[in-house]
Structure 1
Amino acid sequence: MSSIQVRPATLRDAKAIAQIHTVASQEVYKELVPSAQLKSLTLEERHAYWREAIEYCEPQVQVAVAGEKIVGFVGYDRSRDEQSRPTTGEIWAIYAAPSHWSQGVGLALWDAARDGLHEEGCTNVTAWVPLRNERALRFHELAGFKRDLASAKTALIGGVKIEEVRLKRPLNSQSSLAGAPRYPGK
Structure 2
Amino acid sequence: MSNIQVRPATLRDAKAIAQIHSTSTQEAYRGMLPDEQLKMLSSVEKRQAYWREAIEYCEPQVQVAIDGDKIVGFVGFDRSRDPKTRQTTGEIWAIYASPTHWDQGVGLALWDAARDGLAEEGCTTVTAWVPLRNERALRFHEIAGFKREMTTAKTSVVGSIKIEEVRLQRTIN
Cross-structure match for 1:79: 80
Aligned-pair CA distance for 1:31: 1.3
CA distance, structure 2, for counterparts of residue 158 and residue 118 of structure 1? 35
The answer to whether structure 1 residue 40 and structure 2 residue 44 are counterparts is no
Unmatched segments (≥5 aa) in structure 2: none
The answer to whether structure 1 residue 10 and structure 2 residue 10 are counterparts is yes
CA distance, structure 2, for counterparts of residue 93 and residue 160 of structure 1? 20
Cross-structure match for 2:171: 170
CA distance, structure 1, for counterparts of residue 38 and residue 160 of structure 2? 9
- Cα displacement string for residues 62-82 of structure 1 (whole angstroms, at most 9, x for unaligned residues): 000000000000000000001
After superposition, residues 8-157 of structure 1 pair within 5 angstroms as 8-41=8-41, 42-157=43-158
Q: Which amino acid aligns with 1:100?
A: H
CA distance, structure 2, for counterparts of residue 159 and residue 54 of structure 1? 30
- Cα displacement string for residues 31-59 of structure 1 (whole angstroms, at most 9, x for unaligned residues): 11101011012111000000000000000
SS in 1 for 2:82: coil
SS in 2 for 1:81: coil
SS in 2 for 1:77: strand
Aligned-pair CA distance for 1:156: 2.1
SS in 2 for 1:40: helix
Structure with the bigger RCO (C-alpha within 8 Å, sep 6+) is 1
Aligned-pair CA distance for 1:2: 1.6
Unmatched segments (≥5 aa) in structure 1: 173-186
**Do the aligned partners of 1:38 and 1:158 also contact (CA within 8 Å) in 2?**
no
Aligned-pair CA distance for 1:158: 4.3
Structure 2 CA distance for partners of 1:158 and 1:30, relative to 1, 3 Å: farther
Q: Which amino acid aligns with 1:32?
A: M
CA distance, structure 2, for counterparts of residue 83 and residue 156 of structure 1? 22
Structure 2 CA distance for partners of 1:158 and 1:125, relative to 1, 3 Å: same
TM-score (structure 2 length as normaliser):
0.98
CA distance, structure 2, for counterparts of residue 144 and residue 163 of structure 1? 21
CA distance, structure 1, for counterparts of residue 3 and residue 128 of structure 2? 26
The answer to whether structure 1 residue 161 and structure 2 residue 158 are counterparts is no
Q: Which amino acid aligns with 1:29?
A: Y
Number of equivalent positions? 172
CA distance, structure 2, for counterparts of residue 146 and residue 140 of structure 1? 8
Structure 2 CA distance for partners of 1:90 and 1:39, relative to 1, 3 Å: same
CA distance, structure 2, for counterparts of residue 153 and residue 31 of structure 1? 20
